[in-house]
Amino acid sequence: MELAEQVREICEGFDGRIGLSAYNFQTEETVGYRAEERFPTASVIKLPVLLTLMQQVQDGQYSLDDPLMLRRGDQIGGSGLLQFLSPGLTMPIRDWAFLMMCISDNLATNVLIDQVGMEKVQAWLADHDYPDVELRRKIDFAILNKDQNELGIATPAGLTRMMTAVFHNKHLTPNACQEMLRMMNKVGADRIGRYLPFEPFGSDAPEEAKLNLAGKTGSLKGTRAQTAVIWRGKREDNWGFAITVMNEGNPEPELWNPDAPGVLVIGRLARAVYDAWLGEESN
């Protein structure tokens, strides 16, 4: 079965609205399903916050080593650890960014949105030709529980272009892009990486054979999303692909478990793309 047909079959079997965009680095082949439609981003919108932060660092406005303090007024629930720590804690901006991306810390996100300026995030997106990605506000669950679109919206195609740009050292320096990928290392192993053939921990397989994943996930009630890059070996070999899957409106009761339908469908789609573009039969 052709990849596009597989993608369509999996997407049409999902109980809710779903979109996918994937791009093959070597062949420049693409596959999509509702790739140009806008979906709520949930925490995936933290990616352009990070890009704006790194741009400001590159422009010399401040350093990743500059300290930021946790304030009592910063408290926000949802994902993350900082909400449980004591006000007054001070960390380098680099660590705040790592927590925002690696464990999707919501408090870190709101602090960093204040740091870079919400209007600056939108300006960065406009300047770099992402009209289909929008950060609308800081995280506020009183608002998001009424309308999930009020944090951010994006198209799968737009986010796939963004992850491709990070992978290929566009927009920012190679060192900055490498640092962003470090912050997103293995994020989404339970989603896009769920059914992929990663080497077991401690494997002595050569580095050029190992499968890598870097990305950003997002979750709201009945909604799951992820954008990511998957590759083997050295990045410059381009043996990999970028992929974004976004879904919303699944009617099952929200139990926030790793087997939620929106999570499983992301994993199935990623495996279909992997088999077509990186699997043994594709070589």
In tens, the pLDDT along 13-34 reads: 999 999 999 999 999 999 999 9
Percent of the chain with pLDDT over 70: 99
Residue 1 is predicted with a pLDDT of 82
CATH 3.40.710.10 fits 3-282, yes or no: yes
| Residues with Cβ within 8 Å of residue 110, at least 6 apart in sequence | 74, 76, 138, 139
Alpha carbon distances (Å) from 54 to 111, 124, 166: 15, 11, 11
What's the mean per-residue pLDDT of the chain? Answer: 94
Q: Which has the closest alpha carbon to 146: 41, 221, 43, 80?
A: 221
Q: What is the mean pLDDT of residues 157-171?
A: 98
pTM for the model stands at 0.95
User: Residue 283 above 80 pLDDT?
Assistant: no
Alpha carbon distances (Å) from 61 to 66, 90, 100, 115, 176: 11, 19, 20, 11, 15
Residue 282 is predicted with a pLDDT of 58
Domain residue limits, the chain: 3-282
Q: Which has the closest alpha carbon to 41: 227, 190, 182?
A: 227
User: Residue 178 above 70 pLDDT?
Assistant: yes
Count of H-run helices and E-run strands, the chain: 9, 10
User: Residue 216 above 70 pLDDT?
Assistant: yes
Burial of 238 (0-12, 13-18, 19+ CB in 10 A): middle
